[in-house]
Every structure is written in C-alpha cells, then in structure tokens.
Structure 1
C-alpha cells in the first residue's frame, strides 16, 4: 500500500474512533414515563427521542444537551451521561389567570409574528415517520428522509394557501406493511402537502373555549390551557400553548379532540368517520436567523370504518412524526416527488447503508417487533435493533 493511501485510511479510522456515541432513554423525573420529542443536540448535530424515550446520538464534540419545552434543560457531556436520563418538569407559579377574553392570548403573540416567523420561501431538511395501526396493532411503517421547500412557515391574513406551496426532494425511503386488509379496505395516508398543512393549524381558541394561563416558576414562559365547552356539541377539545414571555412567540402547541358526530364519509359500501385527533407541534428558535421554525410535530388521526353489507367495525390510527433541521440553509434542491400523492403510494429506491446508520429517530421496540415478523429474505425494511449496554 502506498504511504498516501495508508495515511488517508488512518485518518478515516481515527475520525471514526473520535466520535462520541450514546444510546439512551429519557424519562420524566416525576412519573418515570418515557418523554417523546426531547431534542438531544450540540453545535454539530441533533437527534430526537421516540415514543419509548430512546435516542442514539453521535458527535465529535463531548458536550450534549437534552431539552424539551416544559422541562428543565440538561447540559452535560458524553462521559457523564448515564444510560437512563431523568428530566425534571418545569414547575408553575402559584397564581393562575382565567382568560375571559381570548384576545388576551393573541395580543401576546400577534405583534411578534412578523418578527419571529418567516413569510417567504425557505428550505429545510426533514425526517418523516408514518405509522398505521388497525385495532391497536401496527400494519404499516414508512420512513422518508430528504429536503423540502415551503412558500411560508405560517399563513397570515391575505395569504392564500395552495398545494403548490410545498415541494419535496426525497433522498431516502423505506416502508413495510399491508396495503389492503382482509376486508379489502385500503387506508389512505395524507399527502406530503396535506400533512404540512395539518402541522400549521394552531388556532384552538375563540367562542366556545375557556382559557387558563399559568406561569412557569423556573423560566420566563407561560402555559395557556384551553378547553371546549358544551356549546360545541359532539366535540371535546383540550390542550395547551407554551408561550415565550420574552419573544411572545408560541414554542409548543398540544391539542386532543374527541369527536362523536354522525359525520360518516361514504366510499362505495365503506363508511368512515374521524373519532379523535391529536396534534403536537414544537418550535425552536434558530440563533443564526433569530427566527422560529417547526422543529418537530406529531399528528394522529383515529378513524372508525364500517361496511354496509359486512358486519365489522375497525378502528384505524394513522400517526405522522415530522422532524426538521438545517432550517433556511442554502443547499441544492431538486424537487423529485408528487407532493399531492398518498404518502404510502410514493416510491424510492431503498438504501440499506443509509438506514443502518441514520439516527434521526430510532424505531420503538413495538415497531422493531413488527418488522422482525416479516420474512427476512423478503423484508424491504431491514434494520438492526439497537440495544443499550
């Protein structure tokens, strides 16, 4: 071997050894439950905890931070980090305020919107996980990684929304699962554009809602709880906003809706209706741009499906987890997919090397068990289970 080649190989090997790695789980310090959507990061990288609270993070830097809005921030190093990490929930001040006028909330944020959110086109990288359950059991999993371009982050008055406001460049994709079930029911996923529209539906106030505001004791943020009242027949909606008192910007939005209405959609002999919706959207501020971006989001729809001739009633739950990063950065972009097509109908070549090394979002144990149930020779969603030492 020539000396130059040996030196190059040595440098690569040394670079790999220099990487700090951590596979761990993050739990709530009070109830010991897993915390989803914890950002684990430093200046050179970031990852996100899954529904099990698990994460896998690699970095050349020794520093590491774990943070989720509503919890105390943890700053430490790889060497000091244990396999199980406990985050303390933020505590509230004793006082709470009942907001009798919903304008009280929006007065806090409306003036900040032009200053803290982008209303012009920008690009970002994304990771998307789509999951389908039938009667509680997983039937489909799909992961997509790539780039996206938005016309705007949030739509304000006078801006018209269109499906053409989003374009995507898929770089990697994997999927596994059933298209149709034994009753020949095909559950339609959102399109990529529809999904992004869903993540920016953030208004859950107005007539028919009561609001209570609480302030955090250990950080300058407020939590505004909302609850629908009896005027909204057949709809029970609750949740909260977390608002940064310094910037007056929304940093998190969480909503749950239970729906009991005879609003069946008819498709031939099949009848379907949405009976529950859950939404979580987390924002983070880029120190480089001094703007807020959606860092992560989760949308869950629960749908009841029946048949006019067959005696079955199935409940499907579709779940979409979105992570974005490198927001508003300048990188090449080439749209290569139909943003208005059912996500599960999209096709892209499977790259095993990418999926073996990605750490954007780990598979949960439940997901891994579902994947392992398929014949390994025909499994298009190959992935090794990561175990903590």
Structure 2
C-alpha cells in the first residue's frame, strides 16, 4: 500500500450537570452545527446533527452562533427545556447596511493584535476530530483530547514553538488490503495547529479587501481576494468586533478560478493533487482579556488517479478549545508533534469516552463503526 502525505485534562473538582440537546434554526428548523456552548470553565460545539453534550459547572451557560441571537440560560433552566433548542436569526434592516470608503478598520485590527492575542507561552485544553472519507464513504475517524502549549498564537511558522500532551484517543478506520491501493496520510498535530494560527490574519501584500459591511451592532465583515490569481492564495472573509478590533470569525477557501491551474503530483503509478481546501475559525475572549481560537475546521479534498480509476478523498479536521489558558505548570508533553496523526497511539479509555461531552459521534459515524467488520477486502485499524 502506498502512502501519500497531504500538503497543503485536568479533572474538574466542582459539581457538574450533564445536558444533552439539539439546536436548530428557529425559522427553518434545520440543525445548526458549530454552535458554541460555554460557561466560565468549559466549551463545546454542536455536531453536524445539531447535537451536543455539555457538562455545566458555572451559574450561566452561553449559547451563541454568529448571525443568531445569543441565548444565556442557567443549567437548571436548560435541563428543563425540551430536547430541542431554537436559535433565532438576528434581523438586519436593509437601511442599516452601509458601505465605507476603505477598510481602515483592518488597520485597527493589526494595530491591536498584540493587545488582543497571547504573545507569551500559554496552554489550552482541546478536542480534535479528524474524519477521512473516500468517495463519500467513511475511511477513518480519530478523536483526540489533549493539551497544547505554544510560545505565542500568531507569527511565522518558524517562530512558533508548539508541544502536545495527549490524554485520550479514540480512532477507528479501515484499510484496503490490495497492495496497489493508495492510502492518504493525515497531517501532523503541528501542521494542523499551524494552519489554524497562520491564516487568522491575511497578508496585506497578497490580498485586496472589500469595504466593510455591517453584520450587527458590534460586528463588521470584510471580504478578501488575492491580488494575483494563483492557487496558493484563497478567498474569504473576516468578521471584526468593532468594540475592540478583534477578529471573531475567519473564513478562507480555495479560489475557484484557479482550480484548473493546480499541478498534479506523481508517485509511481498514482497521480494526485489537492483540489479544494477551506478553513473556518471562530475566536472568543477569555476572562484574561485575550482572544483564543475557540473552534476551527480545516477541510481538504484530494483527487487521486490510480491507473485509470479516479478517487476523491475528503479530509476534515475539527477543533474545539475546551479550556482556554489552562494551568501551564501541569503541562507535560508526551508525543511527537510532527508524527502523522493516525500513527499516534494513546490507549483507549472506555470510561472517558462514555462520559466526555465534545462532538458526539453522528448517526452515520456510529453506523460506519458498527458495520465496518462486514466489509470484505479491508482490515480494521482501531484502538478500541
């Protein structure tokens, strides 16, 4: 089998209440994914089904998604609610949508960067989910709970020092037994986290920017476009908090106009290329006044021609910071940050995975794990 690399917790000592709910759009009744649910101690997100677990440990729970009205509720009130919560979209009057002559607000964002983001060593507790699909079908699922230590959040890759302490892992995948089949390697932990931080601030010299438009009373959106049409620089937007000039949402994806220009790589009888990527990030402010990347999702698509057969691989790395700025003195690195993700080995802890509250497995994921043993011609790779 040939492998191709894609280029591109501290225990709680206070009482907790476990909540399980669905969140949907109040108008369309469609599930809402990536909704942030947090209290003073913990953070989590809804999965693709709009479903979440949350261990509440504070007096107030905040439920928020940009473009929707924020819901603040006590754990007791939340537990009394029905199984489904409804978030109402924020109405915007057309008369409020104005266009400014230039993106001066972006200059303010850069000037305030050192005030808004950590520029000294810090530790965060995180949950990372990686999903690999082949032609729309699951191939690998890996969930990791751990801690990450960085010397700072923003900067050039060569200046970022990053280490990891992995606490729990759940991985399950299938591998084709045919020696002529391809197997795509996942990114390393270091590469994934550098993607998240390096693209938060777009490069002034590489992009043109639109005039800001109003999102709501305290947020404006700016779109960016590459000055030169090349496949290295994407298109996307920033959502900026106009009260402190922080970036609260970042979106970047491949420029569709350049897809035909992306070159192919060849290895033996296989040729391949990354034909799509997208990155979405959301930032939150912590009690120390610094912003952190609360959630992020990096998605990639790789086209592969194995002799005459075309295959499409889709990879998604979804991050949730479960505790920002956690205790740095207890951090103990225990893995190689540059190792390929699926090759990392941490023993499976059944008790942890039955009780943890981050990104529940979707119905489709559970069906894949249950039925994978029935697929002929494949071997199972799992730590449970």
Normalized against structure 1, the TM-score is what?
Answer: 0.83
Cα shift at 1:96: 4.1
How do 1:233-244 residues align onto structure 2 when only pairs under 5 Å count?
237-244=234-241
CA pair 325-131 structure 1, distance change in 2 beyond 3 A: same
Q: Which residue of 1 aligns with 2:332?
A: 334
SS at match of 1:276: strand
How do 1:159-174 residues align onto structure 2 when only pairs under 5 Å count?
160-162=156-158, 165-174=161-170
Q: Which residue of 1 aligns with 2:3?
A: none
CA pair 234-122 structure 1, distance change in 2 beyond 3 A: closer
Does structure 1 conserve the Cα–Cα contact (< 8 Å) formed by 2:100 and 2:213?
Answer: no
Cα shift at 1:228: 5.5
Q: Which residue of 2 aligns with 1:291?
A: 290
Does structure 2 conserve the Cα–Cα contact (< 8 Å) formed by 1:40 and 1:46?
Answer: yes
Counterpart CA distance in 2 for 1:120 and 1:62 is 30
Q: Which residue of 1 aligns with 2:196?
A: 199
CA pair 58-130 structure 1, distance change in 2 beyond 3 A: same
SS at match of 1:187: strand
Cα shift at 1:235: 8.2
CA pair 343-164 structure 1, distance change in 2 beyond 3 A: farther
Q: Which residue of 2 aligns with 1:3?
A: none
Does structure 2 conserve the Cα–Cα contact (< 8 Å) formed by 1:90 and 1:216?
Answer: no
CA pair 316-379 structure 1, distance change in 2 beyond 3 A: closer
SS at match of 1:178: strand
Counterpart CA distance in 2 for 1:72 and 1:148 is 32
CA pair 208-152 structure 1, distance change in 2 beyond 3 A: closer
- The answer to whether structure 1 residue 275 and structure 2 residue 275 are counterparts is yes
How do 1:64-79 residues align onto structure 2 when only pairs under 5 Å count?
64-76=61-73, 77-79=77-79
Does structure 1 conserve the Cα–Cα contact (< 8 Å) formed by 2:188 and 2:340?
Answer: yes
CA pair 57-326 structure 1, distance change in 2 beyond 3 A: closer
Counterpart CA distance in 2 for 1:143 and 1:26 is 22
Does structure 1 conserve the Cα–Cα contact (< 8 Å) formed by 2:240 and 2:246?
Answer: yes
Counterpart CA distance in 2 for 1:149 and 1:174 is 22
Does structure 1 conserve the Cα–Cα contact (< 8 Å) formed by 2:133 and 2:314?
Answer: yes
Query: What is the number of residues matched between the two proteins?
Result: 356
Does structure 1 conserve the Cα–Cα contact (< 8 Å) formed by 2:164 and 2:333?
Answer: yes
SS at match of 1:108: helix
CA pair 381-212 structure 1, distance change in 2 beyond 3 A: farther
CA pair 91-243 structure 1, distance change in 2 beyond 3 A: farther
CA pair 127-286 structure 1, distance change in 2 beyond 3 A: same
Counterpart CA distance in 1 for 2:272 and 2:25 is 37
Match of 1:346 among 344, 348, 351: 344
Counterpart CA distance in 2 for 1:220 and 1:359 is 31
- Calculate the aligned-residue CA RMSD, in Å: 2.8
- The answer to whether structure 1 residue 304 and structure 2 residue 303 are counterparts is yes
How do 1:173-192 residues align onto structure 2 when only pairs under 5 Å count?
173-180=169-176, 182=178, 183-192=180-189
SS at match of 2:114: helix
With 118-127 and 39-48 compared, the bigger mean Cα shift is at 39-48
Deviations 1:263-291 (A, max 9, x none): 1122222211111111111111002x100
Cα shift at 1:151: 1.7
Deviations 1:14-73 (A, max 9, x none): x99x85332111112233332222121223433211121110123355643211233210
Q: Which residue of 1 aligns with 2:363?
A: 365
Deviations 1:275-309 (A, max 9, x none): 1111111111002x1000111110001110113xx
What runs of 5+ residues in structure 1 fail to find an aligned partner?
Answer: 1-14, 383-389
From the CA coordinates, give the structure whose radius of gyration is larger: 1
- The answer to whether structure 1 residue 85 and structure 2 residue 81 are counterparts is no
Counterpart CA distance in 1 for 2:37 and 2:316 is 22
Q: Larger relative CO (CA 8 A, sep 6+): 1 or 2?
A: 2
What runs of 5+ residues in structure 2 fail to find an aligned partner?
Answer: 1-12, 375-379
Counterpart CA distance in 1 for 2:101 and 2:364 is 44
Does structure 1 conserve the Cα–Cα contact (< 8 Å) formed by 2:112 and 2:245?
Answer: yes
Counterpart CA distance in 2 for 1:359 and 1:223 is 32
SS at match of 2:213: strand
Q: Which residue of 2 aligns with 1:266?
A: 266
Does structure 2 conserve the Cα–Cα contact (< 8 Å) formed by 1:251 and 1:284?
Answer: yes
